[in-house]
Amino acid sequence: MNRSISVVVPVFRSGPMLSVLYQRLSAVLSALTERWEIVLVDDASNDGTFDHMLEIRRIDQRVKLIRFARNMGQHYATLHGLRRCCGDYVLTLDDDLQNPPEEIPRFIAKLDDGYDLVIGRIEGAKRHSFLRNLASGAVQKLIGRILGKPPSLSLSSYRCMSARAARGISSYSGAQAYLPALIFGAVPLDRICNLDVAHHSRLDGRSQYTLRKLLKLSSYLVVNHSSIPLRFVTAWGTFLSIASLIYASYVVLDVLLTGSKVTGWPTLAVLVSFMSGNILMCMGILGEYIGRIVSERARMGQSPVFEEFL
């Protein structure tokens, strides 16, 4: 095969596993082509992981190293690695060897069938805790709701993409990256497919991807790539403004029919209800404008161009 292959691996506190990962990756890639590279992105591990990366780099100059000064998260680390790779085929996988590198030839064969992005679909249950799997399932449904992901399409961090898909995804310039949102914003749905892959137990240690981090990442999806919170505020403000006007009408009617028991209270109640309703209505309108600004900013932060003019 004359085409080149790049493999992007976000790394976080997994130094002892990296030599095994390199050996397995290099064996698979060398059997496919002479033109390959591995891009290791250290997400500010600060536990000696980067020293292990340097040892691999001394052995093989085709291994590129990137190191962050502070922790930016797996998605941002992967995105930064995509910006630095130059292969015709670009793969992303985790550093814990739960994604077997031996599946890479199958990914490339599937990509050659005419797709631009092939995503690994885990066969059976993932080797995570029950709560982690439950939260992952909820996030998948949330992604489908917000981003329009088809229910039949599964997401995972084990992916293979064409160079143009990698360019489109990595064109995002925002601070908090959420890869599924970038993927569906850069690659047409009919050019994305799944490939059933195995999911092995972690080779060493425990996963650093906690439930808290998963929830934090989900907040990026909801806040950065959707207007759900703002739409909720708009609906809530509209509801309360209508309820306030109804209550004010009730107070006026009650005073006209029965009279006021406390001097000045009806006037105060009507004014407070009226002003509260107007304030909440204005907040809802502002929410709509802010939602549109967020949507426009997301579009500006990532190029929507996929096909090039020939």
pLDDT digits 0-9 by tens, 219-231: 767 776 677 777 7
According to the model, what pLDDT value does residue 166 have? 95
| Average pLDDT estimate for 87-97 | 94
Is-contact 289 296, C-beta < 8 A? no
Strand, coil or helix: 233: helix
Residue 242 confidence (pLDDT) above 60:
yes
According to the model, what pLDDT value does residue 85 have? 93
| Residue 119 shares a structural domain with residue 9 | yes
Classify the phi-psi angles of 124: left when phi > 0, otherwise alpha if psi is within -120 to 50, otherwise beta. Answer: left
| Residue 129 shares a structural domain with residue 236 | no
Radius of gyration of the chain (CA): 26
| Residue 177 shares a structural domain with residue 235 | no
Question: How many domains, in total, are found in the chain?
Answer: 2
| Residue 148 shares a structural domain with residue 242 | no
| Residue 170 shares a structural domain with residue 236 | no
Structural domain of 75: 5-224
| Residue 218 shares a structural domain with residue 286 | no
Which of 208, 224, 240 is a domain's end point? Answer: 224
| Average pLDDT estimate for 103-107 | 96
In DSSP terms, 193 is beta-bridged to 118
Which of 224, 242, 266 is a domain's end point? Answer: 224
Which of 132-141, 267-276, 287-296, 300-309 is the most confident on average? 267-276
Looking at residue 179, which CATH number applies to its domain?
3.90.550.10
Residue with more model confidence, 48 or 310: 48
| Average pLDDT estimate for 172-185 | 82
Residue with more model confidence, 90 or 233: 90
According to the model, what pLDDT value does residue 146 have? 73
According to the model, what pLDDT value does residue 308 have? 45
| Residue 87 shares a structural domain with residue 145 | yes
According to the model, what pLDDT value does residue 302 have? 58
Percent of the chain with pLDDT over 90: 40
Phi, psi (degrees; rounded to nearest 5) at 41: -115, 110
| Average pLDDT estimate for 286-293 | 72
- The beta strands (E) that lie in 88-151 are given as 89-92, 117-122
With residue 137 as reference, give the H or E element that holds it.
helix 130-147
Residue 273 confidence (pLDDT) above 90:
no
- The per-residue pLDDT of the chain, averaged, comes to 82
- With respect to residue 95, please indicate whether it lies within any of the assigned structural domains: yes
Got the DSSP string for 143-197? HHHHH---TT----S-EEEEHHHHHHHHT---SS--HHHHHHHHS-GGGEEEEEE
Which of 80-89, 181-190, 294-303 is the most confident on average? 80-89
Which of 224, 256, 278 is a domain's end point? Answer: 224
Quickly tell me which residue has 């590198």 as its tokens: 101
Q: How far apart are CA 135 and CA 67, in angstroms?
A: 29
Establish how many alpha carbons lie within 13 A of residue 141's alpha carbon, considering only the half-sphere containing its beta carbon: 5
